Amino acid sequence: MQDNRGGFKKSTIVILIICGIMILAGAGIATAGIALDGLHDLKNINIAGHDINIHGTEPLAESTVSIEPFKNMDIKAEGSRVVIVDDSEFYVKARYAPGDEPLIDVQDGTLYVQDYAAIQGGSVGFTGSPDAPTGIRLTDGSGSEVTLDGDGIVIQGEDGDNVTINGLGINIHTSDDIDEDDIGSVPIDINIDGFDGSVSYEQPSIEIHCPMSEAYGTVAVSGSAAEMSLDGMQAESLMLDVYSGGIVLRNAKIGSIAGTLSYGEFTLDACTTDAIELTGDATNVSVTGTTVTNAAVFNGSTSGDTMTVKDSTFGALTINATEDSSTDLQMNGVTVTGDVSLHAPYGTHEISNSTFGTFTCKSDNSELDLANVTVSGAVQIEQNYSDIEMENCTLNGLTAKVLTGDFEFKGALTGATVITITDSGDVDLAITGNEADYIYALNSEYGEVLVNGKPYKATVDKGTGANTIQVDVESGDIELNFL
């Protein structure tokens, strides 16, 4: 991404060297481009016999700007790490690539920060013959090979080779012999990730110094790549419109949190807020020791790979993932006074040591595992595939509809219970209570029915108690035990 200042924008913090070769038909010339994230020690790259000199690796510049007191913040981030620092004075300290000094201004009580954060080093390119071999060699500019732990790096690979040397991973996606029929379709992809020998990245940063004892108004954060930390902040609202990055709030008291964080990490640690509504595409969410007075709503694939909620309290909690998305949910020590609604088509959902008002879960192929969970109101579960397991739970009313999968329950189960498996799966119920307090109707079209270890025919209908249990299974066994 390029702005009017000519800087290349950084959308992730991961250190990458990306090299793509395009063979130009007719001319027989190969061209390549490399985006570089601050290569300080590496002076030269040799690819297929063609040297590339690295340039523009000067260190970050620094500046400190005194500002007037402000009430609101409007931060546009493109790659800098933004930190709010508790201080008795108002000023901004920035570290940035030369020529990309951020814009800092206070107008009508609002602090405006425009972060340019151009990638150090810019880009380089080369041309060469398309029939050159696939040799990749790192040199120090004088022709000598760069050494790591005394070993030089020389990589000669076939299509799809993966080579790892001292934590340096390089994927090669070309063949030694480039056929003219492959013109225009032979990429080279070099990925250097987590290697700190000859490649380093110094992330630009913006420190906003202000008294944390004051209550602020709206904090608005937008941009393509924001890394932001708020520790101890008090504000009326936090508004997010961020494509990728990490938003971390610790010991913060925010009236409301809303907006979009499409890709990255969203963390709440020991915070208090009235309400949350966050939308994302692949965002990992972590909530610990936090109180949300009203509702928290996470829309889209906001949990990304994982969503962790621990030791927190909510007025209501909704997790509404998009179709075909996968969510691994881990929830422990959570109290929700109102409704819990979980819609996550795929993944593993583990909920333990928690108390809910009501619980609704709808999924396509997600394993649901509840342990030591108490729900005072209705529980409704709709699932196509995978198993459901509830251990030491206390429920007052349960409706579960499963296409294929086993259903296991152990604990206190009162009120009206209806469990339906329309295809195949076993049902195993171990209920703490007296059999005399229940009416149960159990039916398996193709399977066995056992009550307290005693086998029955495919259907059994007994009892006169106030609580009801109805189980219907197309193909599978039903076992009911009173403990």
List pLDDT tens digits, range 160-202: 443 333 333 333 333 333 333 332 333 333 333 332 223 334 6
For residue 483, being part of any structural domain is answered with yes
Q: How far is CA 283 from CA 256, 308, 326, 328, 435, in A?
A: 19, 12, 11, 12, 47
Identity of the residue numbered 385: Y
pLDDT at position 456: 85
> Which residues lie across from 409 on neighbouring strands?
390, 429
Q: What is the pLDDT of residues 6-59, one digit of tens each?
A: 332 222 222 223 232 222 222 222 333 333 333 333 444 444 333 333 333 457
Q: Which domain holds residue 400?
A: 390-483
Q: What is the pLDDT of residues 362-395, one digit of tens each?
A: 888 788 999 999 999 999 999 888 889 999 999 9
For residue 421, being part of any structural domain is answered with yes
Find the radius of gyration of the CA atoms of the chain.
29
Between 458 and 166, the higher pLDDT residue: 458
Q: What is the pLDDT of residues 210-266, one digit of tens each?
A: 999 899 999 999 988 788 888 999 999 999 999 888 899 999 999 999 999 988 889
Between 249 and 97, the higher pLDDT residue: 249
For residue 109, being part of any structural domain is answered with no
SS3 332: strand
CB 118 within 8 A of CB 136: no
For residue 381, being part of any structural domain is answered with no
For residue 444, being part of any structural domain is answered with yes
For residue 468, being part of any structural domain is answered with yes
For residue 275, being part of any structural domain is answered with no
Q: How confident is the model at residue 78 (pLDDT cuts 50, 70, 90)?
A: confident
Give me the number of domains the chain comprises.
1
Position of tokens 């009162």?
A: 414
- The residues, any chain, with a CB within 8 Å of residue 50's CB and separated by 6 or more, are 126, 127, 128, 132
For residue 6, being part of any structural domain is answered with no
Q: Are strands 123-128 and 29-35 parallel, antiparallel or unpaired?
A: antiparallel
Count other C-beta atoms under 10 Å from residue 298's C-beta: 25
Position of tokens 């520790």?
A: 231
pLDDT at position 267: 93
Q: What is the pLDDT of residues 418-446, one digit of tens each?
A: 999 999 999 999 999 899 999 999 999 89
Kindly report the average pLDDT of the chain as a whole number. 74
Q: How confident is the model at residue 79 (pLDDT cuts 50, 70, 90)?
A: confident
pLDDT at position 73: 96
Tell me: pLDDT of 476 over 60. yes
pTM over cut 0.75: no
Distance, CA of 468 to CA of 130 (rounded, Å): 76
Distance, CA of 255 to CA of 258 (rounded, Å): 10
Distance, CA of 401 to CA of 72 (rounded, Å): 49
pLDDT at position 161: 41
The percent of the chain in helix, strand and coil, each rounded to the nearest 5, is 0, 65, 35
Strands (E), 11-59: 18-24, 29-35, 44-47, 50-53
Between 186 and 309, the higher pLDDT residue: 309
Tell me: pLDDT of 360 over 90. yes
pLDDT at position 264: 84
- The residues, any chain, with a CB within 8 Å of residue 277's CB and separated by 6 or more, are 257, 258, 259, 295, 296, 297, 299
